A and B are shown apart, each in its own frame.
Chain A
């Protein structure tokens, strides 16, 4: 499954990938594969306002990339205690 097109990012500058996630059902986006020079520097979560107990939100993954060129970050949507992902997603970045 491909991501939302190729994104241009600046070398060394943090960039974010935002994806819908149902945290209180246990589902989060996790890194499956990182190309050389790309680092996950943090992850946050934004609950949808007014979504009630159990409501979902948006997961924000923050990366930096050190190597110029076209790279693909592989993500999986899964519960940490389960082995099978519910979804796979790729994010393609063009590092300037």
Chain B
């Protein structure tokens, strides 16, 4: 092609009312081959197909507002306060809306967990919605009550020394967060305006980023468009709908309800780059199933003069025994529908009775008489009389059965050591000394035949443990903690033990063995006037019984 004739080209441009003019440039004087060498773009198939793809067909309603679209799927307006955490507020709001739409669940998610404990890091700096939603997908976000927003800041909040315009933020570890976190299956971005409206019309809200100008702070109502004031920065909000009549997006802000229209606003299409930055979407909200938790305390009445002792011979059955004001044994039981009793079982005992069961319909009851001997009474269709098993005991007993026709009883002797008596199906064996210096009555559990775990309060007030593994007794193992009174112990299955006792503040304290390690102390509250009796009818079920400060029996259970 001949070299470009600039005057002729300019005449053509003028005649065609073009909006540009031409001049001689070093490039206009090159040969055709040299000109072609300046080029080099080779669109990929994807780029060609994308450009050639037809825009999405409009399939949206004239207006949508997810506050009133098959119900209200927009949670309340929140306040990010003096922190640049808008991205976490708009993304958690989005996930809360999708949970409502997808499964009718009302969630309140922790913006603090999202912003300060994720890959974003513990600061009030900015972020982006795509990265935030990816974090919610891979690490989840916990409920707000597990990590409330204000718990991320000091009390009162302090400016961040690195950026005094915002508060100093801290991540707070949430124990057991894997069991309570909410995740999403997927998230995406939508650019095309028709696609955005199609999505808002048929799927749900989105999150949007846009440019904030100074006049936006004064928005009250109507459709906002920027008129005056300097640019303030990028902001993220939840888009909860649109109106074709108003030519506006409808949004939920995170500046509290005193700003704008109760915390909401409308912004004109295309304003402040609202339509330039992609909308972010989230799908497939996964909410954890409600797990077991502690319940109670419930009062079961009575006037106790000892700690309770409990056993369970089957699901939905508990038998509890205590000493009454007459020093007799009193019995209360759960039959699956109601608490029965109190029934007097007679006797005159020192301290608390102990109870165990080797089969449904069988109960074995033990108490220390005024002569310090161990006494035994059993139920098999009816109650037997009291049987004297001897010994010279200085504490109440504990008892456990690992199977039919087997009972193991432990108590403290006059020498403060732990003593052991057992029924082997044909006769009572023992008493054998297991040593130690006990400052309480012992507690015992068994997770299988030929396995016994004994727990006592030592003279140092910590929990001590000694176990029979089928071949021999172990040494004494210190487990720490602080016991104010007798422990109680139970096993719901192999390699699982739960131990309870009143702690330093007389709250119910809990330690447990899970097969790998001891955990606790867990503080279960309450105000105890005695040691603890505990039973279990199945894995994952625990029933604790204590004497309260009013001398009544109280029940706390894990289910």
Contact = CB atoms under 8 A, between A and B. Distances in A.
Real complex partners, A and B? yes
Interface of A: 19-28, 43-45, 47, 51-57, 77, 79-82, 86-87
Contacts of B259: 26, 79, 81
Contacts of A54: 84-87, 125-127, 233-236
Contacts of B82: 22, 25, 27, 86
A25 B218 contact: no
Given A24-B234, A27-B165, A54-B234, A79 B255 contact: yes
A84 to B, nearest CB: 11
B165 A21 contact: yes
B337 to A, nearest CB: 56
A68 B348 CA distance: 99
B477 interface: no
B461 interface: no
A43 B217 CA distance: 15
Interface in B122-144: 124-129
Interface string B77-92: 0001111111100000
Contacts of A26: 217, 255, 259
B532 to A, nearest CB: 50
Contacts of B12: none
Contacts of A44: 230
B165 A24 contact: no
- Among A23, A25, A54, the one with the most B-chain Cβ atoms within 10 Å of its Cβ is A54
A80 B84 contact: no
Interface of B: 80-87, 124-129, 159, 163-166, 209, 212, 214, 217-218, 230-236, 255, 258-259
A47 B233 contact: yes
Instruction: Give the interface SS of chain B, mostly helix, strand, loop or mixed.
Output: mixed
A53 B214 contact: no
Contacts of B85: 54
Contact of B209 (A20, A28, A51, A53): A53
The 5 A-B pairs at the shortest CB distance, nearest first, are namely: A52-B126, A55-B126, A23-B232, A20-B165, A54-B84
A82 B258 CA distance: 8
Contact of A25 (B84, B128, B129, B164): B84
B123 to A, nearest CB: 10
Contacts of A43: 214, 230
Contacts of A55: 84, 125-126, 233-234
A49 to B, nearest CB: 11
Contact of A51 (B125, B214, B231, B236): B125
A51 B218 CA distance: 24
Contacts of A24: 84, 86, 126, 212, 232-235
A50 B236 CA distance: 16
Contacts of B163: 20, 56
Nearest to B220: A81
Contacts of A21: 165
A91 to B, nearest CB: 15
Nearest to A47: B233
B279 to A, nearest CB: 13
A87 B235 CA distance: 23
Given A20-B165, A24-B235, A56 B84 contact: yes
A77 B166 CA distance: 11
Nearest to A81: B259
Nearest to A58: B165
B86 A28 contact: no
6 contacts: A20-B165, A27-B82, A43-B214, A45-B231, A54-B125, A56-B165
Given A22-B83, A28-B217, A54-B85, A45 B235 contact: no
Nearest to A86: B82
A25 B217 contact: no
Contacts of B218: 80-81
B87 A53 contact: yes
Given A24-B233, A45-B231, A47-B231, A52 B128 contact: yes
Contacts of B127: 52-54
Given A25-B166, A56-B163, 18 more contacts: A19-B165, A20-B165, A24-B126, A24-B234, A25-B83, A26-B259, A27-B82, A45-B230, A45-B231, A47-B232, A47-B233, A51-B233, A52-B87, A54-B87, A54-B125, A54-B127, A55-B234, A57-B165
A52 B129 CA distance: 10
A5 B17 CA distance: 61
A28 B233 CA distance: 12
Contacts of A82: 258
